[in-house]
């Protein structure tokens, strides 16, 4: 038992060390932290619309110029995703999320004292946007490392934090504005976002050690093991093994050992001897940003799926109220439609996590079905008429949006895409590619609406992007299986070549010698 503890103990660190993915444990605390981070990042972004009218009146600006505050914020958040990956691999997820929380809070607090919309562009758009990136992406990455079988369900449920935040923050901020004004309300929101820093302090690193590395020594070697542990604890040099002096098997060096017993070579071959591990070369350092994922055809297809699917994420939330007002629906009833969409999104996220948690199931195909159904929802919006027509479409869209929005990033950890080992780098590159659609999507839809004078064109353009995304998503699994099959063939060919080796050279008279021996033996038998 002492040997097991020694193998997994990591001095001077607070990392949680497991022999396999725990699927729980401290991961539940990380899941709670992710729930709060979701609420204080995306929840605040989606609730920022309550300040729009106040900012237009205070700064005497148009709606489009005020809208650029959130557009810049979201673009910076997604565009700097590779930076978040590099910093997380260099300094750890905990410090990066805590620093991100400070940036988010600082940007929002300074924005409450802004005197122009340009000040808002810098404070909320750039400073808070960078903080949102440093807070969200490392949290979802480390949460995926704590879970395996329950990963989809836990991530989906924890991601509902933003949905619950929209329910609570929007009316709370509105009521607070009536009492203390929009500036002090924004200041209060900035102070509240310091909670991200507290959540970041809960993100303990996790280390997975294989079972072989912590395997205890056989009982007959208990004395030797005790001696080796004493050498490690007293920092005694054991480099003399390389010079030919066998510390562990010499009778004079092993107390209480009356007879030298030859040590089996098998533990050395399997790397179970801790002394031998000290002489092995150190493992290569982890890459800060592994761009090798860009050579993986399955990841490229998945990245294109994210690029085009992002076009379909924003349209209903931006244009559902203008569309309902153009159909003669009142302002209050339009707000009910948006609230119903958010409620349905919560159930969609939980449902997707529950379905993807089932085994055996090919998760990438479930995601494909959800994306196709989400495309149908976007096409259905222009055909809706009246309050109840839009309400049904909104509920349907919200539910399907929840199934996709809560799972598309965690699915990077699946073997069909890149796997859990490379998820950190893959998530940074994936979100960076998404930022291009996030920046170009709203202006593109706005141009179509201004040109056609019809809000239906925005929904059609988003549906087209979602269909393209579904096509690339359908190629992920075939590309992965084809690539794995090709790599397997190459490895098998290399193994066969190494096993075959060079053919030995035979002497020219080898056959004559064998024939001569046969004849000689035949004559001997005849004489007998």
* DSSP-assigned letters across all residues of 448-480: HHHHHT-THHHHHHHHHHHHHHHHHHHTHHHHH
pLDDT score of 99: 94
pLDDT score of 190: 93
pLDDT score of 505: 56
Q: Are 402 and 345 in contact (CB under 8 A)?
A: yes
pLDDT score of 497: 64
Q: Which pairing describes strands 16-18 and 206-208: parallel, antiparallel, or unpaired?
A: parallel
pLDDT score of 266: 42
Cis check: omega of the bond before 112, within 30 degrees of 0: no
Reported residue count of the chain is 528
| CB-count burial class (<10 Å; 0-12, 13-18, 19+) for 285 | exposed
- Among candidates 367, 357, 419, which has minimal Cα distance to 23? 357
Separation CA 102–CA 194 (nearest Å): 6
pLDDT score of 264: 42
pLDDT score of 255: 42
| Beta-bridge mates of residue 206 | 16
Separation CA 118–CA 107 (nearest Å): 13
Complete DSSP assignment for 20-32: S--SSTTHHHHHH
pLDDT score of 285: 54
pTM: 0.62
- Among candidates 410, 390, 419, which has minimal Cα distance to 150? 410
pLDDT score of 520: 55
Helix-, strand-, coil-residue percentages of the chain, each rounded to 5: 75, 0, 25
Burial per residue of 221-247, b for 16 or more beta-carbon CB atoms within 10 angstroms, e otherwise: beebbbbbeebeeeeeebeeeeeeeeb
Q: How far is CA 62 from the centre of its chain?
A: 38
Q: Are 444 and 312 in contact (CB under 8 A)?
A: no
Separation CA 422–CA 420 (nearest Å): 6
What domains are there in the chain, each with its CATH number?
Answer: 15-210 (1.20.1250.20), 289-492 (1.20.1250.20)
Separation CA 133–CA 63 (nearest Å): 25
pLDDT score of 123: 94
Over the stretch 357-375, which tens digit does the pLDDT of each residue have?
776 677 888 889 999 999 9
Separation CA 109–CA 125 (nearest Å): 13
pLDDT score of 252: 42
Separation CA 218–CA 266 (nearest Å): 12
| Beta-bridge mates of residue 17 | 207
Complete DSSP assignment for 127-192: IIHHHHHHHHHHHHHHHHHH-STTHHHHHHHHTTHHHHHHHHHHHHHHHHHHHHHHHHHHHHHHHH
Separation CA 230–CA 6 (nearest Å): 11
Strand, coil or helix: 215: coil
Encode 500-515 in three state secondary structure. Answer: HCCCCCCCCCHHHHHH
Q: Give the residue ranges of the chain where pLDDT is below 70.
A: 1-14, 19, 63-64, 210-291, 314-315, 331-332, 359-360, 442-443, 483-528
Over the stretch 132-155, which tens digit does the pLDDT of each residue have?
999 988 888 888 888 877 877 888
pLDDT score of 503: 55
Contacts of 1 (CB under 8 A, 6+ apart): 216
């Amino acid at each position: 038992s002492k040997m097991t503890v020694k193998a997994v103990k990591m001095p001077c660190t607070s990392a949680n060390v497991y022999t396999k993915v725990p699927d729980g444990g401290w991961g539940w605390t990380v899941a709670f932290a992710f729930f709060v981070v979701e609420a204080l990042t995306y929840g605040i972004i989606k609730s920022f619309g309550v300040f729009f009218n106040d900012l237009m009146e205070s700064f005497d600006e148009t709606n489009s110029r005020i809208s650029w505050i959130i557009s810049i914020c979201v673009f910076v958040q997604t565009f700097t995703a590779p930076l978040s990956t590099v910093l997380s691999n260099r300094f750890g997820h905990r410090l990066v999320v805590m620093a991100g929380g400070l940036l988010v809070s600082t940007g929002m607090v300074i924005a409450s004292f802004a005197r122009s919309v340009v000040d808002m562009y810098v404070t909320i758009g750039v400073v808070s946007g960078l903080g949102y990136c440093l807070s969200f992406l490392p949290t979802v990455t480390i949460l995926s490392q704590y879970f395996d079988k329950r990963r989809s369900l836990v991530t989906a449920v924890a991601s509902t934090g933003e949905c619950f935040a929209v329910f609570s923050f929007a009316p709370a901020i509105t009521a607070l504005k009536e009492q203390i004004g929009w500036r002090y309300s924004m200041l209060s929101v900035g102070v509240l976002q310091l909670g991200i820093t507290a959540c970041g302090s809960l993100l303990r690193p996790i280390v997975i050690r294989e079972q072989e590395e912590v395997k205890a020594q056989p009982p007959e070697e208990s004395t030797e093991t005790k001696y080796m542990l004493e050498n490690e604890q007293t920092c005694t040099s054991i480099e003399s093994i390389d010079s030919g002096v066998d510390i562990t098997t010499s009778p004079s060096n092993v107390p209480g050992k009356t007879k030298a017993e030859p040590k089996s070579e098998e533990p050395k071959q399997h790397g179970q001897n801790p002394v031998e591990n000290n002489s092995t070369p150190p493992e290569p350092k982890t890459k800060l940003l592994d761009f090798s994922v860009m050579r993986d055809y399955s990841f490229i297809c998945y990245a294109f799926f994210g690029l085009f699917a992002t076009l379909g994420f924003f349209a209903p939330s931006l244009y559902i109220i203008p569309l309902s007002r153009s159909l003669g629906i009142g302002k209050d009833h339009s707000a009910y439609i948006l609230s119903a969409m958010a409620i349905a999104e919560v159930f969609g996220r939980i449902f997707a996590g529950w379905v993807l948690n089932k085994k055996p199931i090919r998760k990438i195909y479930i995601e494909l079905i959800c994306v196709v159904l989400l495309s149908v929802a976007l096409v259905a919006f222009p055909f809706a008429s009246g309050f109840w027509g839009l309400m049904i479409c909104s509920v349907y869209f919200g539910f399907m949006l929840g199934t996709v929005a809560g799972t598309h990033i965690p699915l990077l950890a699946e073997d069909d895409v890149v796997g859990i080992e490379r998820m950190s780098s893959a998530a940074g590159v994936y979100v960076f590619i998404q930022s291009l659609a996030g920046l170009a999507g709203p202006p593109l839809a706005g141009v179509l609406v201004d040109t056609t004078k019809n809000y239906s064109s925005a929904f059609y353009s988003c549906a087209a992007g979602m269909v393209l995304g579904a096509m690339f998503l359908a190629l992920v699994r075939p590309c992965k299986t084809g690539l794995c099959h090709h790599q397997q063939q190459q490895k098998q060919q290399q193994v066969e070549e190494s096993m075959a080796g060079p053919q030995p050279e035979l002497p020219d008279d080898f056959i004559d010698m064998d024939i001569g021996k046969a004849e000689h033996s035949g004559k001997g038998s005849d004489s007998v």
